[in-house]
Amino acid sequence: MIELNEVSYSYGGDALLSDISLRLAPGSFHFLTGPSGAGKSTLLKLCYMELMATQGTVTLFGRPAHEIGRDGVASVRRRVGIVHQDCQFLDHLPLLENVALPLTVSGQSTEANMAEMQELLAWVGLSSKLRALPPELSGGERQRAALARAVVMSPDVILADEPTGNLDWEMSLRLLTLLVELNRMGKAILVATHDLNLIRQAKAQVAARVLRIKDRRLQLAGADL
């Protein structure tokens, strides 16, 4: 669904990423590790066209990124759900409306999708928070809300950038369980994380590949994880 072929990226100086090749197939689960500043977030941004490769080819759902026009970008991004570590919400809107924002932006009615919205928020354990404002939510609740918002359009791929970085271990495991469930539904999952304990826990539940960015390149992590 998303494929990077010999991709390099530079912010203007030396390349941050060099000769990166990666394929996110349906039902695949990948973890992405590496030190701070190695380029994990940059790689994820290449996967949803927030950044364009300096060299090489990024292909999204069968179309080379450089051939996708502005209208096409919106269509592609509806098929990719993004979960950030520091998720941004509109503080004046209740949780239900915040999670429904992708539907609203695409011209769909929250009311027409209310049953599905309530089911989605129940799935992430937030049934009792439908009318809560974002400042009233805990860190774990905000991250689960961010995951709900990322999947509200039923994307094919979920990209998560340090989604458990601000969470305690119990909440990290809960979020991991939700990601594993999504993967079992056939979604491709790519999680950038520093948390090696989380990766070890995941490998007991799902056949995940662990990749590491080192010296600007992507490599399979060793069995010592």
Compute the distance between CA of residue 113 and CA of residue 36 in angstroms, rounded to an integer. 40
What number of other Cβ atoms are within 10 A of residue 10's Cβ? Answer: 15
Backbone angles phi and psi of 66, in degrees to 5: -70, -10
The pLDDT assigned to 223 comes to 53
Overall pTM surpassing 0.75 (yes/no): yes
- The domain spans of the chain are 2-79+155-219, 91-153
CATH class held by domain 2-79+155-219: alpha beta
Q: Would the pLDDT of 141 be above 80?
A: yes
**Sequence-ordered alpha helix ranges (H) in 50-195:** 70-77, 95-99, 101-105, 114-123, 139-151, 169-184
Amino acid found at 208: A
From residue 184, alpha-carbon distances to 128, 144, 178 in Å are: 26, 18, 10
The pLDDT assigned to 36 comes to 87
For residue 193, give the DSSP letter: -
Q: Would the pLDDT of 106 be above 90?
A: no
Calculate Rg over the CA atoms of the chain.
Answer: 17
Q: How far apart are the first and last CA of the chain?
A: 27
The predicted model gives 3-28 an average pLDDT of: 93
Compute the distance between CA of residue 67 and CA of residue 169 in angstroms, rounded to an integer. 42
Please give the distance of CA 187 from its chain centroid, rounded to a whole number: 11
What is the widest separation between alpha-carbon atoms in the chain?
A: 50
CA 122, 128, 130, 135: dihedral to nearest 10 degrees? -120
Tell me what the pLDDT averaged over the chain comes to.
90
The pLDDT assigned to 221 comes to 79
